[in-house]
Amino acid sequence: MGKYKDFATDGVYHIPKDQHAQILEVLKGNTGELSDKTIRAIQEKVAQIELASGKPFSAVVQPSVSTYSEVQLGKVDETVNGHEQDLKQQNETLKDQIRFEHEPSVVEGLKAAGGAAAVGAAVSLTTKLWQKYRDGKNVFAGDFNADDWAEVGLSTAKGAAGGAIAGGAIYALTNCAEMSAPFAGAFVSAAKGMAVLVADYRSGKISVDALIDNGMFVCSDAAIVGLCTAAGQALIPVPVLGAVLGSIAGKFLSTFIGKKAREVTDRLAERTKRIVAALDAEVRKVLAFLGAEFDRLGELTTAAFDLKANVHLLESSLTLARAHGVSESLLIKGDADLDAFMTGR
């Protein structure tokens, strides 16, 4: 304080947290194994600080985030790296919390003004499906009914047998709706997620069932976009929706795993067969039709980066926007509209 006399008026001093804790213990009378000389020196220094600053010791001197030993030469780099990782984790936690608290509802989003009214309202359906899975309902096993779909943001069409959902409505709930090439974007995102899971599986960190369970959700956005690419605006009966998404997600999963992981593909086939067997005959027909339409896309890696497939999804988003009453003057229908929107013309 002799060097920085005015600092305590609007700032604080930081000392290693272990030393700060020890000083507070001494002030409480808990001196431990310290010598009488050391105890007196601490008490005198605290008294000097409080006299010079006119404030309590705890208001002027506060603990740092590190101990004395952590900031010595040879150790300080490791300490700084550790604090950096902690800050990054805290930042990610805060961002997740902000996203959760401010996540727009689909209804609010679709009513929003602007050229991106329908497309920009996208929220992650996968996150909501995962939350339901943790509550005991697996969409890919056909566990969802109309009420479950409503909870995750989808309303069934009135008058449809058993309730039905338009392909475009599902697509609007993915994180891919705002992409210029949604099928390609969904494919790449799924590939990145699966790379981590496959590495964990091959190193023995996760079981085959954990690989499949987690992989289905990693591939769910790609499955939804793929289904909408194949089926367009067709109404999809609720009883078959979970099963068909599971079937398509499984095909993506198999593509990313490759032919070597025979155990995984066999287990997937077994699961699919069991789920399909539980459906009634009419629903199985719809499932077969939608599966065939998807298979017509051909090899997934090629289909995902096909220009026509991605343009088709742009057209679907325009149909969705019109269905929700967005003015034609606000829709972005091509490059000219996009240029005008970006430049404010």
114 within domain boundaries: yes
Contact 144, 238 (CB under 8 A): yes
Are 129 and 83 found together in one domain?
A: no
Q: For position 15, what pLDDT does the model report? A: 80
pTM for this model (two decimals)? 0.38
Number of Cβ within a 10 Å radius of residue 222? 32
Structural domain boundaries enclosing 250:
106-343
Token digits of residue 345: 């013309």
CA distance 339 to 345: 8
Are 115 and 217 found together in one domain?
A: yes
156 within domain boundaries: yes
CA distance 141 to 345: 49
Q: Chain-centre distance of CA 58, in angstroms?
A: 41
Are 88 and 160 found together in one domain?
A: no
1 within domain boundaries: no
Token digits of residue 308: 């026509």
Are 79 and 58 found together in one domain?
A: no
212 within domain boundaries: yes
What is the domain count for the chain? Answer: 3
Contact 114, 209 (CB under 8 A): no
Summary mean pLDDT of the chain: 64
Give per-residue pLDDT as tens, 231-255. 554 556 666 666 666 666 766 666 6
Contact 151, 132 (CB under 8 A): yes
Range name among 50-59, 70-79, 119-128 with the lowest pLDDT average: 119-128
Contact 96, 88 (CB under 8 A): no
What band does 342 get if pLDDT is binned at 50, 70 and 90?
low
Task: Give the 3-state secondary structure of residue 170.
Answer: helix
Give per-residue pLDDT as tens, 201-235. 778 888 877 777 777 777 776 676 666 555 554 55
Give the residue from 25, 54, 71 where a domain finishes.
71
Distances (CA, A) of 105 to 62, 95, 263, 267: 44, 18, 40, 36
Q: Chain-centre distance of CA 211, in angstroms?
A: 18
Are 43 and 181 found together in one domain?
A: no
CA neighbor of 272 nearest in space, from 223, 204, 207, 199? 223
Give per-residue pLDDT as tens, 29-46. 887 788 888 888 888 888
The mean pLDDT of 264-284, rounded to a whole number, is 72
Are 265 and 129 found together in one domain?
A: yes
Better-predicted residue by pLDDT, 342 or 223: 223
271 within domain boundaries: yes
CA neighbor of 114 nearest in space, from 31, 173, 178? 178
CA distance 83 to 326: 48
Q: Which helix (H) or strand (E) holds 62?
A: strand 61-63
Q: Chain-centre distance of CA 142, in angstroms?
A: 23
